[in-house]
Structure 1
Amino acid sequence: MTETEIEITADLVRDLLREQHPELAGLAVREVAGGWGNQMWRLGDELAVRMQRMDPTPELQLKERRWLPVLAPRLPLPVPAPVRSGEPSERFPKHWTVMTWVPGEPLDHGTISRGAHAADALAGFLRALHVEAPADAPMATDRRAHPRDRTAGFEEFLQALDPDAVGDASAVRDVWADAVAAPEWAGPPVWVHGDLHPANVVVTDGTLSGVIDFGDLFAGDPAWDLAAAWVLLPSGAAARFFDSYGRADEAAIRRARGLAAAKSLFLMLMGQNGDRGLPGGKPHWGPAGRAALDRVLKGV
């Protein structure tokens, strides 16, 4: 087997724990469905093992190990915190990390019924996260640039989708064009989660209760996270979110709305194409993306 073809099983996880962290090897190991860059396994009731799977480099896991202990104490919602590091070995030549488990149901399998509460919770979380990042923080890559530099990717998503699924493509392009025309972020680079979509937040009792998967964490334009006002929250909650967040000017909201349109198209594409050859198919992302796109087009 090549490294990308290694089958990750409960027995493998337990063997790795015995080799590197024997004090944890007696805890129950249970697979968590979904994911492809990394595969998650529950470890007892309070921990999880994050196994590098499709990610070609350990960069994303190493980033979480470095920065989550810095960020987690000041964030108002639970996030995973690394507690043990697993290093590559003959048994498994990739990185793995033991992290705290964030309880709740992933939003792509759950719902938000308390929209106002969720809007306030998301706004409070992002206010706490979006502070000026230190000079050695990971910087944005080209795919986290201003929307005008991402137009080729936006068009790729749009053209790959069934036109009947998209509906009014002209209206979608208008939202994107407005984001492209918006001024750039003029402030200092702030901490940005970078990948807020329904599989990367958890819900409890109808509201947001945690945020996971910080592999795309970077310092840059907060609009990448503000897009979550439409991607995550139910219809009618975006205005409440921006009022509660309190820091977004008109330009940031325009950029965020365009980025939300692109994220919605991506979710729809994942639903249309199933698993795209990757582990953990995502057909249920299609309806979530369609609902998000409707919110984007209505501006609510």
Structure 2
Amino acid sequence: MSEVKTYSGPFPVDEDLVRRLVAGRFPQWAGLTVERFPSGGTVNAMYRLGDDMVVRLPLVAGGAQDVAVEREWLPRLAALLPTAVPEVLGAGEPAEGYPWPWSVYRWLAGENPEAGALGEPVGLAGDLAGFVSAMRSVTLPGAPQAYRGGPLASLDASTRAAVEELRGIPEEGVDCDAVLAVWEDALRAPDPDGPPVWLHADLMPGNLLVEAGRLTSVIDFGCMGMGDPACDLFPAWNLLPADARQVFRAALDVDEATWRRGRGRTLSQALIALPYHRRSNAAMADNARHVIRAVLEEAG
């Protein structure tokens, strides 16, 4: 029986490894340039392949399942959504010492939007609402459960632990009593009164692409599946200013209970991310700080 290796941290990936993987699996692309694409993501590495493609490789074992999910569902979802989504052009397999499946996608142009520096925030809010609405309208059978789609209460222990950790980091300036009050309000919100819906479930700025301020593509569908519709309200607080936030809410016709759950879910993710990433991932930490400020301003 062959030995299965485990890795305590991200698997070491570099341009040379990607070249060898591509040459071995897709010799027709062996002569194309390979260049690391900078990303604030922590689960996958991205390498530009030539001008028109990108290689996406999991850095941790948990990301390997995302590869399978995207390969199965993205071709079915693409025609149902109003924005471009990743198109799988090639399915890579473990080789050259690399332990997990990987994929080659068509390159999608655009840049990640940045909270506080949006060119068309109201228009972007409408675009995001259109995408979320289209996801909710999907009726494809056999969907997986979304990674973040379960009951809000399942996040309670980890959220409270993160708040206590932040109490020990006074330089972050988080009002821990205030964020706990918002979190507890979310827990008191009624559960969804309808069936679960299709979700992207990870609508972070790093998973959105814009051109001229408007949404052109949504990427990284590894968390997708069925769950609480509040899970796809993340952009309301992790990206949109207050006026555009209300446009987003109105376009989706979000009731008060769903809004409170969505605010709590977004806050929970930020509270957990901040102490974890504050020294290692500036983009993730800065977005977590933005979320905490936006939520407290709205709740206040």
Report the TM-score when normalising by structure 2.
0.88
Alignment of 1:26-37 (within 5 A): 26-34=31-39, 35-37=41-43
Separation of aligned partners in 2, 1:89 and 1:287: 36
Among 90, 94, 100, the alignment partner of 1:88 is 94
Q: 1:38 aligns with which of 37, 40, 44?
A: 44
Give the AA of the match of 1:88. P
Deviation of 1:41 (Å) = 0.5
1:233-283 deviations in Å (ceiling 9; x for gaps)? 12332111011123x2221111001112112323433442x22xxxxxx12
Q: Distance in 2 between matches of 1:91 and 1:45?
A: 27
Change (3 A) 1:30 1:90: closer
Structure 1 position 56, deviation (Å): 4.1
- Is residue 2:27 matched to residue 1:22? yes
Q: Which residue of the other structure, out of 227, 244, 247, is the alignment partner of 1:240?
A: 247
CA displacement, residues 163-212 of structure 1 (integer Å, 9 cap, x when unaligned): 45243322211211121111112322211111122222223323433221
Q: Which residue does the alignment assign to 2:178?
A: 171
Amino acid at match of 1:63: V
Deviates more, 1:254-263 or 1:7-16: 7-16
2:249 is the counterpart of 1:250: no
Looking at structure 2, the residues matched to 117 and 134 of structure 1 have their Cα atoms a distance apart, in angstroms, of 29
Matched residue SS, 2:242: coil
Identity of aligned residues (%): 36
- Whole-angstrom CA distance in 1 between matches of 2:219 and 2:108: 7
Q: How far apart in 2 are the matches of 1:183 and 1:89?
A: 49
Q: Aligned partner of 1:198: which letter?
A: P
Decide whether the 8 Å contact of 1:122 with 1:241 is kept in 2: yes
What is the root-mean-square deviation of aligned Cα atoms in Å?
A: 2.4
Instruction: State the distance in 1 between where 2:101 and 2:114 align.
Output: 27
| 1:190-205 paired onto structure 2 within 5 Å | 190-205=197-212
Tell me the CA shift for residue 26 of structure 1.
2.3
Seen in structure 2, the aligned counterparts of structure 1 residues 262 and 86 have a Cα distance that, compared at 3 Å, is: same
State the match for 2:229 in structure 1: 222
| Alpha-carbon distance between aligned partners in 1 of 2:175 and 2:11, rounded to the nearest angstrom | 43
8 Å Cα contact 1:133/1:189 also seen in 2: no
Does residue 58 (structure 1) correspond to residue 57 (structure 2)? The answer is: no
Compute the displacement of 1:157 (Å). Answer: 1.9
Structure 2 letter corresponding to 1:24: W
The 1:16/1:253 distance shift into structure 2, 3 A limit, reads same
Deviation at 1:125, TM superposition (A): 0.8
| CA 170–109 in structure 1, closer or farther in 2 if over 3 Å, else same | closer
**Residue pair 2:192, 2:258 contacting (<8 A) in 1 also:** yes
Q: Is the 8 A contact 2:199 2:229 kept in 1?
A: yes
Alpha-carbon deviations, 1:75-133, whole Å to 9, x = none?
12222121110012354332110012222222359931311011001101111111254
2:22 aligned partner, one-letter code: L
1:148 and 2:147 aligned: no
Residue identity matched to 1:208: L
Taking the aligned partners of 2:63 and 2:277, their CA distance within structure 1 comes to 26
Secondary structure (helix, strand or coil) at the match of 2:46 reads strand
- Uncovered stretches (5+) of structure 1, i.e. residues with no partner: 276-281
Q: Which of 116, 119, 125 is the aligned partner of 2:125?
A: 119
- Within a 5 Å distance, the mapping from 1:175-186 to structure 2 comes to 175-186=182-193
2:218 corresponding residue in structure 1: 211
SS across alignment from 2:137: coil
Q: How many residue pairs end up in the alignment?
A: 291
1:136 counterpart residue number: 142
For 2:229, give the aligned amino acid: P
| Closer/same/farther in 2, CA of residues 166 and 212 from structure 1, 3 Å limit | farther
Task: Rate the CA distance shift 1:9–1:286 in 2: closer, same or farther, 3 A.
Answer: closer
